[in-house]
Amino acid sequence: MRERIRSARREALKKGKAGMRYLLRSAAAKVAAGAVGALALVPGLLLRGLAATAGGVLRFLRLAPRNGVQWGARFTRWSIQVAKAVHTRLMRRAKDAWIKAIRPDVLTDFDEPGHTRTANPADGFGTDYFGGNLVSVFQQETEAVREAYATYDPPMMLAVAAEYWGLPEGLTSAAEAVRQLAVNTADKYPADAKMADLVAQVYALLHQASQKAAEVGPLFAKVHEHDLRRYEEPRPGEHMWNILQRRQDGGFDQRQPSRFVAVAQDVAHVYSRYEPGHMSQVAAEYEGVPAGIENVAAAINLLQVRSNDRYPVDKQIVDAIADVYQLLMAAASAAQELMPNFRRLHAPDISRHEAPRNGEEAEGMWDV
């Protein structure tokens, strides 16, 4: 309890500092945007005055229509456009810094696939605890998702588009394993009913992430309508507009399943056939859920980073993927409560294994 209180205090302090820095960055962004806009307004006014003078002379000579001078007003719009661009860029940096600062302190890197995380001594049990020597099937399968996606390099933008459109299906497949764990906890496993509710809450957050991910594809299609039309309705000689002056081979199609969908589907397929024969295996699944979700989140984060640094896409797409990533991390944070609650709700059952009375053979006399 003391550790949880200290952790809550640290989390509150971290969020408070992050919020203060975000407010300061927001104020600085507005000041900087105003200053840049004011500087851009000076040449804009001069050019507008020159345009108005030239337009008046032309109209006097009847060489231009009466409203011909209105085009000079566009020069004064420079300041607004420049200020807006500066403000948007600085606010995006402030938001990214805020998201990074409040990110939950969860483990996202693993030395080797197929190994559960090391137990924290503060949890009240050592390394040889109930279910601790077993590998979570969910965690193991999602590590394969993470590794497969890390090595995937889309060769063209239609392949990237397939990843955006495939996000909700891939997340649904990964979430199906957690849903199945909740159903089995309620119907098959000799576990407290509260455990099923806790797992269901984690699944609800994954479902929210999947719903949010469903917005990425349509947003991409809307923002990049002109780019996509070059593929869907190519004009004669469309390849002459190519940046690299070469034809696309046409080997990829937006309607093909994404790599993320392909690797995530295996999680649902494998988990639907998994039948643990002992509660220690079930305990390993509860403990492996947070790391498994973090593996899926790592793949989404990789797509976000590549979209921001490598792919020629609008920053709105990057922000939309970031929202999905944050929901996944919230689900991983909630899943970290599964194992502590499992031990609390089943303390008498677990103690028979970790501290058998008069040895395992004697304790085994209570076996059903």
The pLDDT value recorded for residue 204 is 94
Is this prediction's pTM over 0.85? no
Q: In the predicted model, is pLDDT for residue 10 greater than 60?
A: yes
Work out the pLDDT band at 125, boundaries 50, 70, 90.
very low
- Report the pLDDT averaged over residues 213-230: 92
List pLDDT tens digits, range 260-288: 888 888 888 888 888 888 898 899 999 99
**Structure token digits, residue 303:** 């797509």
Residue 147 pLDDT: 87
CA distance between the termini of the chain: 34
Residue with tokens 């507005």: 30
CA 230, CA 243: separation in Å to the nearest integer? Answer: 13
134-145 pLDDT per residue, tens: 878 898 889 888
* Most confident segment among 50-64, 141-155, 230-244: 141-155
Q: Is the pLDDT of residue 250 over 80?
A: no
CB 143 within 8 A of CB 176: no
- Split at pLDDT 50, 70, 90, the class of 326 is very high
- Here the tokens at position 136 are 């979570």
Q: Provide, rounded to the nearest whole percent, the portion of the chain with pLDDT above 70.
A: 78
Question: What are the Cα distances from residue 213, in Å, to 165, 169, 172, 218, 320?
Answer: 8, 9, 10, 10, 8
pLDDT the model gives residue 175: 93
Residues 129-152 have a mean pLDDT of 84
Query: Residue 293: what are its φ and ψ, rounded to 5°?
Result: -65, -35
pLDDT of residue 13: 78
* pLDDT score of 11 more than 80: no
Radius of gyration of the chain (CA): 28
Per-residue pLDDT at 112: 38
pLDDT the model gives residue 108: 35
Average pLDDT over residues 210-228: 93
Per-residue pLDDT for 232 more than 70? yes
Q: Render pLDDT for 108-118 as a digit per residue (tens, 0 to 9).
A: 343 333 333 43
C-alpha distances in angstroms, 340 versus 32, 110, 195, 354? Answer: 48, 22, 11, 15
Mean of pLDDT values over 299-324: 92
Using an 8 Å Cβ cutoff, are 284 and 116 in contact? yes
Cβ contacts of 282-285, under 8 Å, gap ≥ 24:
282/131, 282/185, 282/189, 282/191, 283/130, 283/131, 283/134, 283/339, 283/342, 284/116, 284/131, 284/132, 284/134, 284/135, 284/136, 285/136, 285/137, 285/138, 285/181
Q: Which residue has the higher pLDDT, 3 or 83?
A: 83
User: Do you know the residue count of the chain?
Assistant: 368
Q: Scanning the structure block, which residue is given the tokens 């599964």?
A: 338
